[in-house]
Amino acid sequence: MHPLTRRSFLRRASVAVAGIAGAPYILPASVFGADAPSKRVTMGFIGCGRQTYHANIPGFLKVAGVQAVAVCDVDSWRMAEAKKLIEGHYAKKKDGSFKGCATYKDFRELLADKSIDAVMIATQDHWHVPMAIAAVRAGKDVALEKPITRWIDEGRLLANEVAKYKRVFRVDSEFRSLEPMHRAAELVRNGRIGKLRVVRTGSPKEGFPDEPETITEAPAELDYELWLGPAPKVPYMQKRVHTPQNLKSRPGWMRSLDYCDGMIANWGTHLNDIGQWGAGTERTGPVEIKATGKFHDGKVWNVLEHFDAYYKFANGIEFYHQMGEPHVRFEGDKGWIHVNYAASKLSPERLKASAPAILKEKIGPEELHFPLKREKPDFIDSVRSRGQTLEDEEVGQRTTSLCRLAHIAIQLGGVKLAWDPDKEVFTNNDAANKLAKRPPMRAPWSFDKL
């Protein structure tokens, strides 16, 4: 399970940097080595929607030694807003080393920029793996929004490519950085509720606000063809993309199966990661899956509006994921611990246990400790050290797969599925194995030509 408290980081050799003489902004930190005095890490942001504008850019700008040098989006208005945000930050700091923020409509052009060490990718889910694979092949370290993939075989390809190219990877989920989640997982892993029997997680309900399904022309600032990329060719309508010139509202694509699996994965990857972390199953998977659910019947918005999933692991742990209150609950033979994400940070309801004394337990120096740090500094620290992040590509693959396994069972009418977590194949259902594979990308896109 790679206990990080024993500093068991995987040292990875850095990829040689080419084209240094022509670097347009500053030389990448990797040129000077991880121990260079500046330890500067240059970053590019692919996807400039509400998550990048309100969380990702501000989050990385707070990390010492990080310099944001480029943004990319197929929506020119969003890209311009991200550029203004970054340049406004450096204008206040009067940082003389900052030479401006470059802009790219095509992510491949940003990845060709030799001045960039690492990228943060926050686009529609169907673009996550193609862009991340292109990034690692281009020698970039990658922070990737969750869920990292929509197809199990595609996630495995990404994990293999990260290892092959010796890149640093971080699932950009902040939940391991939340003290109640961290505390619960650490107590469970150190036996404070005895032998773990059951894990229960919940994801919020999906909303489907009334919005017309009207085909119109794409706004002038949006390259809709590139927005679609490898997804099926369909006419533009705002309902399937996002509200123009708006960085606050939830985008419509998050409710469409052409681009996203909905709450079962969007929030499920947050909560199920904590469940797997506490259970010690974060690098494997279940052996049995049963799930039921109902898909919304809209023509465009058609993700799950309800689901109820059950998993059983080889070690006997039972795992339940349902739609409802966002939470994680661990039940052992000597007690339970419950984290209610929706409760106020100062509320005693945020973190509860069957006995208050459980939460007061101290973890001894020889026991398993998890570092408590935010996801952005964790990624940057690993970029510098070439070490393993707290939520790397394998953890991302396994957590996303857990969500996807239930989604597949629901698509097949709630059948009971048998899963081989080592081979990552269903052993009792050929139709399920087909659903685990990404359909061919729309031409001219393919993994061979990224």
What mean pLDDT comes out for the span 372-401? 98
Kindly tell me if the per-residue pLDDT of 11 is higher than 50.
Answer: no
Count CA atoms closer than 13 A to 239's CA, side-chain side: 18
The length of the chain is 450
What mean pLDDT comes out for the span 350-371? 96
Round the average pLDDT of the chain to a whole number and report it. Answer: 92
415 touches 200 (CB < 8 A): no
> What is the pLDDT, as a whole number, of residue 38?
57
Q: Percentage of the chain surpassing pLDDT 90?
A: 87
What mean pLDDT comes out for the span 116-141? 98
Kindly tell me if the per-residue pLDDT of 6 is higher than 50.
Answer: no
- Confidence band, pLDDT 50/70/90 cuts, at residue 15: very low
The answer to whether the predicted template modeling score (pTM) of the entire model surpasses 0.75 is yes
> What is the pLDDT, as a whole number, of residue 28?
47
> What is the pLDDT, as a whole number, of residue 85?
98
> What is the pLDDT, as a whole number, of residue 4?
39
Among 76, 77, 63, 69, which Cα is nearest to 100's? Answer: 69
Kindly report, residue by residue over 162-176, the tens digit of the pLDDT: 999 999 999 999 999
Distance CA 112, CA 123 (A): 19
Kindly tell me if the per-residue pLDDT of 53 is higher than 60.
Answer: yes
292 touches 307 (CB < 8 A): yes
What mean pLDDT comes out for the span 316-332? 97
Kindly report, residue by residue over 247-286, the tens digit of the pLDDT: 999 999 999 999 999 999 999 999 999 999 999 999 999 9
Number of other residues whose CB lies within 10 A of the CB of residue 143? 30
**Complete edge-to-edge strand list for the sheet that includes strand 118-121:** 102-104, 66-72, 41-46, 118-121, 141-144, 169-171
Among 259, 252, 256, 215, which Cα is nearest to 237's? Answer: 215
What mean pLDDT comes out for the span 188-214? 95
Query: What is the C-alpha radius of gyration for the chain, rounded to an integer number of angstroms?
Result: 22
Kindly tell me if the per-residue pLDDT of 233 is higher than 90.
Answer: yes
> From residue 186, how far is each of 170, 258, 275, 362, 402 by CA, in Å?
20, 37, 11, 10, 21
What mean pLDDT comes out for the span 344-373? 94
Name all domains of the chain by residue range, CATH numbers in brackets: 4-175 (3.40.50.720)
Kindly tell me if the per-residue pLDDT of 125 is higher than 90.
Answer: yes
Q: Percentage of the chain surpassing pLDDT 70?
A: 91
- Confidence band, pLDDT 50/70/90 cuts, at residue 128: very high
Distance CA 422, CA 356 (A): 39
- Confidence band, pLDDT 50/70/90 cuts, at residue 24: very low
What mean pLDDT comes out for the span 59-64? 97
> What is the pLDDT, as a whole number, of residue 220?
97
More confident residue, 214 or 120: 120
Distance CA 252, CA 232 (A): 16
Q: Return all residues near 16 (Cβ < 8 A) that are at least 6 apart.
A: none
Distance CA 415, CA 435 (A): 14
